[in-house]
Chain A
């Protein structure tokens, strides 16, 4: 292939990659904000975040498709379920292992992810489930670029959710308490903040974000037991590269990753995931602290 052809090919797929990439990337960003919330408060993340998303997506299938429940009701049910699961994972997999050793919580949340995947295979079966979009499946086309109404909804809903989250974290007393715990748990405790409760809240928020992301993304990628692993992993990649304590960086990188992925898919569809992770590993080699994270000195 001569260079002109490669460039031409690239330019041809670029507009569509940007449109589809922004939609998928905003889902990555939404999931990754969940990593941000728990990491800043506890320096732990839920490695089963992707599986939480999967449970959210499959639950929405059960509610919307099998039982014909209204979308808003389904959303509320999913959020409640996620809140309960967030509390459970904090209680079972994080709290007992946070101090014990630095790796215990990684292993236990990986254990949770395995359990949820197997449970989903047993309960929902292995086949892929189609969850129809409430906005229909007719793409809007502009020139040779097509966008599904659901994709527009994903972008708007993710951005709105993230905006609400940031306002909540920065403005409300509750959010400030959460930030205080992140900054210095001991001092926050002395100021009368219930640190343990704040950690639970962080996990509840993180899980709800995963659930919302699952409901949003299900109509465009099919819901099935294995769907969460890759989404959760790519979102974590976005969180690391964006700087896990920088929500805006996470948003930017999440969307960038989505676009990069669709460009890679346009070039060779079967190596799309391999390419994405290769980018992650190379970026980490180049900047271990993430793109936007300032290098901080470790106190000894």
Chain B
């Protein structure tokens, strides 16, 4: 599959940090560094240098915004405000308190991150377009403050004489132009030096963001974007991750703002209108959201575009109608934004990805070797933690006047397969949602052994070893099968944020270990050949199995399967039954909610039946099959059929509310 050339590019180098960097990565980074050093010296033009500096700090902000908008899937129109906070904080620390500029930049970034988290905390709990709207409001608040809190910001008059960065004891703008190759040769002045500082910072941010986004951190925010509920049930605290992603992107916006403040040493409130937020967003979308190099491409093209238009202004051949566009380049941004969203949602980077020889440079993704797997090694089973019962004691769940579950008690014995049946609307899924923390029960107790779980969120219940699959499959659609299963190891991954940021040896090795473990799990379930397939492209039945594999990666004590046979072709039911039995044999307790009677009755050790939110029967599969209340619940009471030979039934489930009124 790979030629010798591509394997050279993909060759990886061992080091304690920046571990396993491919040759292609190193060469690309060095090339960028050389370009950053050489290009400005050859240009020697203050105007071009300013543009280049802008590209560099807007790239930093755009990388941050892409993490949020592209990968995590939240829209922020408040990053202009965070950019302003970074700029003002850094400027004020330097002018009022005389703090060294390097520290001012850090302070601005930190405060932006803190305020970003404060904005995100209350609003991320709300769904839909609210966050977008609140962030717009945030932008407006910041602009109003910048404009009117003149004691602090000096408003439209502006803060002047903001010190620049000190280099070797000299303020950067005071640097004398140095011409190493004679009077007509290359020139290095203050603006070139400042470009180096900002551009190298941008390069560092770019490299670290690639590390982060291609690690478990990136995988997790991708997963949260695609299914919050599934992320929760494998132990991801969705809320914490969303706030974290917002804060990180805010830090980068603040850092960019700091670089902006120290560029000219002069900032005015008029810069920080809502339009700044729109511009940042346009950089990301046009450059390519959810793409590693989209932000730098977007920032480069779109910072140059208005300058290019201004340059055209001097030509006579421009028709008069184009003139207003030059001043109102945002009009062009708006049009480009809509055109890109509709025709090229992957942005310019997405278009580049389709260029064949560029795609060839990317290291190919390979799944780990498959190896024969005898059985499942489950740590919770091994240390006996799985030997506890899952109990619902008189659980009630009311929605307004609707009593979806009205006092149901269930005990799922460890190591058994417990079936739960009942007609549509009988409360089965509601029970599952109560057991897994998706709903907080109105009354009653849900516990695992002696541990009460009523008030716990799903991710905490997952941490206790109770996880589930979903009736309407909740896979992370864009991730590969292998990555989906790797998400299941979330709670067991020990390496932290900085390990991933610096790509320490530890993080790479642990990541490899979990890749192999995920592969083993897929082999156990007979899915190894699908490891690199995108989850959403699989047929329904296989998607169900992948969901089970992901849940198994948690080493659960209890696995709850919510209608695992729904939509699975009849021919594959046997495979499914076999998989469920094998999981039980590995020591995992299973609660299976199902309509498919052949499946439930075939595999269950014990079955309970619900109707209208109450338990109507419980016992062995044979007892349930013969139970008249169960039959009545599924088929209606005797009057509907009035079979002459039938015995009178004992107490039909619903004397007045038969099937006909459902």
Write the residues of chain A forming the contact surface with B, with a CB cutoff of 8 angstroms.
43-45, 47, 92-93, 96-97, 100-104, 106-108, 110-115, 117-119, 121-122, 229-230, 233, 236-237, 240, 270-271, 273-274, 277-278, 280-282, 284-285, 288-289, 294, 296-298, 300
| Interface check B517, CB cutoff 8 A | no
Cβ–Cβ contact A108 & B140, under 8 A: no
Which of B69, B75, B126, B338: most chain A CB closer than 10 A? Answer: B338
A-B contacts, 26 of them at CB < 8 A, read A92-B342, A96-B342, A103-B74, A106-B75, A106-B132, A108-B341, A110-B77, A110-B278, A112-B338, A114-B334, A114-B337, A115-B331, A117-B330, A118-B331, A118-B334, A122-B328, A233-B140, A240-B126, A240-B133, A273-B140, A277-B140, A288-B123, A288-B126, A288-B127, A289-B126, A300-B471
Cβ–Cβ contact A107 & B439, under 8 A: no
Cβ–Cβ contact B133 & A273, under 8 A: no
Cβ–Cβ contact A274 & B439, under 8 A: no
Interface string of B443-479 (1 = CB under 8 A from A): 0000000000000000000000000001110100000
Cβ–Cβ contact A297 & B126, under 8 A: no
Q: Given the complex, which residues of A lie within 8 Å of B331, measured CB to CB? A: 114-115, 118-119, 122
Q: Nearest-CB distance from A270 to chain B (Å)?
A: 4
Q: Given the complex, which residues of B lie within 8 Å of A100, measured CB to CB? A: 345
> A278 with B126: in contact, given A103-B69, A233-B133, A300-B470 (CB under 8 Å)?
no
| Interface check B281, CB cutoff 8 A | yes
Q: Given the complex, which residues of B lie within 8 Å of A240, measured CB to CB? A: 126, 130, 133
Cβ–Cβ contact A92 & B338, under 8 A: yes
Cβ–Cβ contact B148 & A280, under 8 A: no
Cβ–Cβ contact B337 & A274, under 8 A: no
Q: Given the complex, which residues of A lie within 8 Å of B333, measured CB to CB? A: 111, 114
Q: Nearest-CB distance from B328 to chain A (Å)?
A: 4
Cβ–Cβ contact A107 & B281, under 8 A: yes
Q: Given the complex, which residues of B lie within 8 Å of A45, measured CB to CB? A: 129
The 7 closest A-B pairs by CB, nearest first: A285-B122, A118-B331, A114-B334, A115-B334, A288-B126, A111-B337, A270-B148
Cβ–Cβ contact A115 & B335, under 8 A: yes
Q: What CA separation (Å) do A2 and B338 show in the bound complex? A: 54
Cβ–Cβ contact B134 & A107, under 8 A: no
Q: What CA separation (Å) do A102 and B331 show in the bound complex? A: 24
| Interface check B38, CB cutoff 8 A | no
Q: What CA separation (Å) do A270 and B241 show in the bound complex? A: 36
Cβ–Cβ contact B137 & A277, under 8 A: yes
| Interface check B260, CB cutoff 8 A | no
Which of B75, B341, B433: most chain A CB closer than 10 A? Answer: B341
Beta-carbon nearest neighbor of A113 in chain B: B334
Q: What CA separation (Å) do A115 and B122 show in the bound complex? A: 31
Cβ–Cβ contact A112 & B334, under 8 A: yes
Q: Given the complex, which residues of B lie within 8 Å of A47, measured CB to CB? A: 129, 132-133, 136
> A111 with B335: in contact, given A106-B75, A236-B133 (CB under 8 Å)?
yes
Cβ–Cβ contact A111 & B133, under 8 A: no
| Interface check B128, CB cutoff 8 A | yes
Of residues 73 to 128 in B, which have CB atoms within 8 Å of A's CB atoms?
73-75, 77, 119, 121-123, 125-128
Cβ–Cβ contact A107 & B137, under 8 A: no
| Interface check B324, CB cutoff 8 A | yes
> A297 with B439: in contact, given A100-B345, A111-B335, A237-B137 (CB under 8 Å)?
yes
* Interface contacts beyond A103-B74, A122-B331: sample of 20 additional A-B pairs, CB < 8 Å, sorted by A: A92-B342, A93-B338, A97-B342, A104-B345, A106-B129, A106-B132, A110-B337, A111-B333, A115-B331, A115-B335, A118-B328, A119-B331, A121-B328, A122-B324, A273-B140, A277-B141, A285-B121, A288-B126, A297-B399, A300-B471
| Interface check B175, CB cutoff 8 A | no
Q: What CA separation (Å) do A39 and B541 show in the bound complex? A: 35
Q: What CA separation (Å) do A59 and B132 show in the bound complex? A: 29
Q: What CA separation (Å) do A273 and B148 show in the bound complex? A: 11
Interface string of B272-289 (1 = CB under 8 A from A): 001100100100010000
| Interface check B203, CB cutoff 8 A | no
Q: What CA separation (Å) do A173 and B237 show in the bound complex? A: 46
Q: What CA separation (Å) do A167 and B538 show in the bound complex? A: 49
Cβ–Cβ contact A284 & B130, under 8 A: yes
Cβ–Cβ contact B140 & A284, under 8 A: no
Q: Given the complex, which residues of B lie within 8 Å of A296, measured CB to CB? A: 399
Q: Given the complex, which residues of B lie within 8 Å of A117, measured CB to CB? A: 330
Q: Nearest-CB distance from B75 to chain A (Å)?
A: 5
Cβ–Cβ contact B275 & A114, under 8 A: yes
Q: What CA separation (Å) do A188 and B275 show in the bound complex? A: 40
| Interface check B539, CB cutoff 8 A | no
- The 8 Å CB contact of A300, one of B132, B281, B433, is B433
Q: What CA separation (Å) do A45 and B345 show in the bound complex? A: 20
Cβ–Cβ contact A281 & B338, under 8 A: no
Q: What CA separation (Å) do A81 and B29 show in the bound complex? A: 54
Beta-carbon nearest neighbor of B439 in chain A: A297
Q: Given the complex, which residues of A lie within 8 Å of B275, measured CB to CB? A: 114
Q: What CA separation (Å) do A16 and B472 show in the bound complex? A: 55
Q: Given the complex, which residues of B lie within 8 Å of A122, measured CB to CB? A: 324, 328, 331
Q: Given the complex, which residues of A lie within 8 Å of B377, measured CB to CB? A: none
| Interface check B43, CB cutoff 8 A | no
Q: Nearest-CB distance from B5 to chain A (Å)?
A: 36
Cβ–Cβ contact B136 & A103, under 8 A: no
Q: Given the complex, which residues of B lie within 8 Å of A282, measured CB to CB? A: 122
Cβ–Cβ contact A280 & B134, under 8 A: yes
Q: What CA separation (Å) do A274 and B138 show in the bound complex? A: 9
Cβ–Cβ contact A281 & B119, under 8 A: yes
| Interface check B229, CB cutoff 8 A | yes
| Interface check B166, CB cutoff 8 A | no
Beta-carbon nearest neighbor of A103 in chain B: B75
Q: Given the complex, which residues of A lie within 8 Å of B77, measured CB to CB? A: 110
Q: What CA separation (Å) do A271 and B146 show in the bound complex? A: 11
| Interface check B659, CB cutoff 8 A | no
Beta-carbon nearest neighbor of B430 in chain A: A297
Cβ–Cβ contact B140 & A237, under 8 A: no
Q: Nearest-CB distance from A128 to chain B (Å)?
A: 17
Cβ–Cβ contact B144 & A273, under 8 A: yes
Cβ–Cβ contact A274 & B145, under 8 A: yes
Beta-carbon nearest neighbor of B279 in chain A: A114
Q: What CA separation (Å) do A45 and B133 show in the bound complex? A: 11
Cβ–Cβ contact B338 & A111, under 8 A: yes
Q: Given the complex, which residues of B lie within 8 Å of A298, measured CB to CB? A: 229
Interface string of B382-420 (1 = CB under 8 A from A): 000000000000000001100000000000000000000
Q: What CA separation (Å) do A236 and B135 show in the bound complex? A: 12
Q: Nearest-CB distance from A117 to chain B (Å)?
A: 8
Q: What CA separation (Å) do A113 and B337 show in the bound complex? A: 11
Q: Nearest-CB distance from B437 to chain A (Å)?
A: 12
Q: Given the complex, which residues of B lie within 8 Å of A96, measured CB to CB? A: 341-342
Interface string of B288-331 (1 = CB under 8 A from A): 00000000000000000000000000000000000010001011
